[in-house]
Structure 1
Amino acid sequence: MFESIFPLVLFALVATSTPGMATTLSTASGARFGFRRSVPLMAGSAAGLASVAAAGAAGLAGLLAAAPFLQLAMKIAGSLYLVWLALKIGRSGPPNLDPSMAKPNSFFGSAGLQWMNPKGWAMGLGAAASFAALANGPLQLALLLGAVFGLAAALSLSLWCVAGTLLARLLGTERQWRVLNIALGLLLAASIVPMWRPA
């Protein structure tokens, strides 16, 4: 059984590990709050991506493709939210000096962000088209893709978060924290650009 879904697992691991908004947020949260306090953010992102992949396999992606105004609204909302988060991260200082970043992004905020992420929809739709033969119908495919993408995202985001916590141990001065936060804020803002590229 695993041999038949191994290509899907590999696809999901690669797709969820590549740099983007969720990986940048996980890295920033790990650096700022540590792994334990970042779990809701990572769990929300993983659950959000799992539900997007499942919804895409179940047919919702077809509705979005047929409603360009809905796609545009999702892109605008997602972009504005990411700009706000990027500014918040980029303007923050060391964790103990900055009350404006007192807690990481919530489970529901992270999950909702995935629903506004065209990259997530593209991954789900691409996986549904490529691996439809692994399931007997849309419901089974939705469950399979949701489970695989959710677990792959949980693993890859955990690794990015751990990288953030390790990076934070190297930072000893306020200036170093400011440079890291500006860099992560810029990376998060840059993750918006692929959302606006034509498919």
Structure 2
Amino acid sequence: MDSIWPLLLFAAISTATPGSATVMAVASGARFGFVPSLPLVAGLALGIGVMAAAAAGGLGAVLLLLPSAQVALRLAGTAYLLWLAWRIARSGAPRHGGAAAPGGLLLGLLFTCQNPKAWAVTLGAAASFSGLAGSPAGLALLLGCTFAGFALLALSAWCAAGGVMGRRLRTERHWAVANGLLGALLAASVVPIWWS
């Protein structure tokens, strides 16, 4: 059995570095606050855990064998991320008492599961760390729990940072700049999807 430390380091870095999920966590934390955003953060973390488990359990091999499925996933993910980036960029300042609730667990789960960048990370982990478990089911459990746990910690930190940022935004102009920047960052997260 190989050492688990490289997996832990890979999961920590890949879940903490900026990407579409971190932008979602920051945007929700800024707009709604930390505690109301926790269901979304939990869904985002659960999504990457489910994807890691699915990749280790064999779904990754199926995706690698079907180039058309990969292209369809990239197109759907790109369209959704760009639509969401546009919505964030144009959202304006939150209205007291009139702001919609943040997305919940299901939205976070679905958001992550359609993200081709997250699939690339989890597929790479399944291929790279397959020697850590004696069976696909064992590897699926190990990768799913590892990625979900690290993602929950990292995305909670990003969400808390968004909450701090949101408390410092005082005017419509501040919110317009912040939302524009977050929308642009989310749109930029599409580039790695098509880079390979």
Range class of TM-score, shorter chain = over 0.9
After TM superposition, the score normalised by the length of structure 2 is 0.94
Alignment: residue pair count: 196
Identity of aligned residues (%): 52
Secondary structure of the residue that 2:49 maps to in structure 1? helix
Tell me, which stretches of 5 or more residues in structure 1 are unaligned?
none
Q: Map residues 133-152 of structure 1 onto 2, 5 A cutoff.
A: 133-152=131-150
Secondary structure of the residue that 1:4 maps to in structure 2? coil
CA deviation profile, 1:64-87 (whole Å, cap 9, x unmatched) = 111111111111111111112111
| Corresponding position of 2:86 | 87
Answer whether contact 2:77 2:116 (CA < 8 A) is retained: no
| Corresponding position of 2:8 | 9
| Corresponding position of 1:61 | 60
| Residue 187 (structure 2) aligned to one of 186, 189, 196 | 189
Report the RMSD for the aligned CA atoms in angstroms.
1.8
CA deviation profile, 1:140-198 (whole Å, cap 9, x unmatched) = 00000000000000000001001101111221111101100000011011111111122
Measured after TM superposition, the shift of residue 97 of structure 1 is: 6.5
Distance in 1, Cα, partners of 2:42 & 2:15: 13
Distance in 2, Cα, partners of 1:184 & 1:98: 23
Answer whether contact 1:93 1:178 (CA < 8 A) is retained: yes
CA deviation profile, 1:87-118 (whole Å, cap 9, x unmatched) = 1110011111695x612223222211222222
Q: Map residues 36-51 of structure 1 onto 2, 5 A cutoff.
A: 36-51=35-50
Answer whether contact 2:81 2:190 (CA < 8 A) is retained: yes
